[in-house]
Structure formats: structure tokens, C-alpha cells
Amino acid sequence: MSVWQVPSDLLAGSRFTVSPMVETVAALKALINPRTPWQRAWRQPHVDAFQRMLAARPVVRALLPASFYPRWMADFLTIAPALPDPTFASELATVAALPDERIRADLRATRPEPLAAELLADGLTGEVVELLRWVWTHTVEPEWPERERRLRADIVARTAALSTRGWAGVLADLNRDMRWLGEGRLQINDYPDPALSLHRAEQLIFLPAHCPRGWVVWDLPTRFGMVYPARGILVDPTSPAPDGLARLIGANRADILARLESPLSTSHLVALTGLSLGTVSDHLRVLLDAGAVDKRRSGREVLYWRTPLGAALVATGG
């Protein structure tokens, strides 16, 4: 298994953040090799345009199979963001600054076979940049507001759990192969790699993404991070509220309360329930006053989730 030796000060200063580039790489992986039903459904409306783009760009066609190996990908796709709240433009600029030979070195480290002739010409970094820009522009950016809401809702849920479960409990819930081993050791996956000391690191971040399985990001030797699957990737559009709860507090209010197992914004609840913004806001105000939900601001959104009282109401059906 791969283990990071994490100094206590580094863990204490670690944080959760959202990365548009991580979402772009997750989308690229889903376009190439969707592994779950929701990835296949998401890919369907984009795949024809993606194939046409590849047909017009022979270097990108050669680049994709060279960039991915089972459970591994080239390091230029996994650069840890330097800013607290990066934009896609800022993260793409980091990739664009890499020389062609750095891209080729990362490809050779990812797969053992010789590089295709198309990857040996000048301008390779530019092809990587155009690939990432295409995936962002055509698949991620149009749905970014909804994606970002889900990701920030996940972050609120994780940070709220820190107060009751501590880092060991939160880390164990991020990824199936990730766990805190004690004595400063963080298992990040089950690869048979030697332990890596992070004593020179200045940043440790955790990044939720729309993916079935996470990966490591880094910019050696100072920035490290872990991508993990966000909660709420698949949200059932049908009401999860039990009948007894609906009879007690009303069908719409019960529907909203039942959906708040993980934090959601008002606009997200509007999309899920089909209710108007004013109606959702009124129901949330009543649930807040009753102590059944709590709220916290995250960026431009206010997120709501169930309190223990709200959870008990849903669990017992009212």
C-alpha cells in the first residue's frame, strides 16, 4: 500500500477545495472509459462530438492512450492547484507553462512502451492544452454551476463531520482505500509503493469530484492532494420522504427534509422538487425554526442539511 508520512502541522493546515481542472480530468476519464451507469449516461450526449474532435487531432488521438494506465495517469493531468479557489484558466495556465519534454517525460513514466511518433514533434504541450480546453468548454463548463453546488455541499458535510469524527473518521470516508494509520501515516491507496515523507510539503488538500474513484494530485515536493468521489453525484428525482412524515408535516416539507441527508442549496432543492424558489425558502424557514435543519454559507450559496432531530423524523417516518 502507498503511505504518506504527514507532519501534524501539515494535516492541521489542510483544507478542502474545488478544482475545475480536477472536474475536467474526471470528465475526460468518463469520455474515454466510463465505468459506471451514471458515467455512461452522462457521456452519451457528448461522445459524438468528442470522437469528431479526436478525428481532427491525430496528436490528441495518440496522446490519450499514452496518458492513462490501469489506475494511473500522467502527472501533467494531476497537478495540485496552487490557489485556494482556482479557476479553470489559472489551472490551465499551469499546464500550458510545462515544456514539451516534461509532457513526454510524464508519458514515459506512465506507460512503459515507446511513445508514438506523433508525440515526438514540437507543440505537444499545446495539444494537451487544447484537449483540456475542449473537454472543459464542451462538457464541464455548461453544467459547472450545478457541479460546483454538489462539490461545495460535499465540502460542507465533510468539514461539519470534523467536529464529531476528527480527521481519522473523515479521511476513512473519503475513499475506499484511504485511511489514517496513526503515527502520522496516511494510507492513500493500495499500490505497493514505498512510503513518501511530506516533511517538505507546504500544502495538503482534499478535492471532491464527479468520479467513481479518486486519485492523487501533487506538484512535488511542496503540494499534495487527494481527489475523492463527491456525495450526491446521483440524486434520485423522486421523493424519498416516508408517508408518515408527509402526513405529519406536509408532503412538500417532508420531501425537502428527506433530501437533506447531505447539504443542498435552495436552488438545488428547487431543481429536485419542482417547487418554486419562494415555496422552498418558506419550507426551509419553518424547518429551521423547528430545529430540523441547519444552514451554513459556502461561497455564494447557503447550504442546508438535517440536524439530528430532522434525521430522527425521517428515520421514524414522523
Band of pLDDT at residue 315, cut at 50, 70 and 90: confident
What average pLDDT does the structure give for the chain?
89
Residue 177 pLDDT greater than 60, yes or no: yes
Least confident of 54-58, 129-133, 232-236: 232-236
β-pair type (72-73, 68-69): antiparallel
Residue 196 pLDDT greater than 80, yes or no: yes
For position 265, what pLDDT does the model report? 83
For position 56, what pLDDT does the model report? 97
Whole-angstrom distance, CA of residue 303 vs CA of residue 267: 10
For position 42, what pLDDT does the model report? 94
SS3 (DSSP) at 168: helix
Band of pLDDT at residue 191, cut at 50, 70 and 90: confident
For position 158, what pLDDT does the model report? 81
Q: What is the pLDDT of residues 214-223, one digit of tens each?
A: 999 999 999 9
For position 233, what pLDDT does the model report? 63
- In terms of pTM, does the model score above 0.75? yes
Residue 6 pLDDT greater than 80, yes or no: yes
For position 232, what pLDDT does the model report? 62
Residue 298 pLDDT greater than 80, yes or no: no
**Mean pLDDT to the nearest integer, 120-127:** 97
Whole-angstrom distance, CA of residue 152 vs CA of residue 298: 7
The domains found in the chain, sorted by start residue, are 2-16+147-229 (no CATH), 20-145 (no CATH), 243-316 (1.10.10.10)
87 secondary structure, DSSP code:
-
Helix H or strand E encompassing 32: helix 20-32
Q: Which amino acid is at 272?
A: L
Cβ(223)–Cβ(201) under 8 Å? yes
**Mean pLDDT to the nearest integer, 65-71:** 90
For position 318, what pLDDT does the model report? 63
For position 316, what pLDDT does the model report? 82
C-alpha grid cell for residue 152? Answer: 461545495
Whole-angstrom distance, CA of residue 275 vs CA of residue 269: 8
Q: Which of 92-106, 188-202, 251-265 has the highest mean pLDDT?
A: 92-106
The sheet carrying 264-265 orders its strands as 264-265, 301-306, 293-298
Cβ(59)–Cβ(118) under 8 Å? yes
Q: What torsion, rounded to 10 degrees, do the Cα atoms 119, 47, 81, 122 define?
A: 20
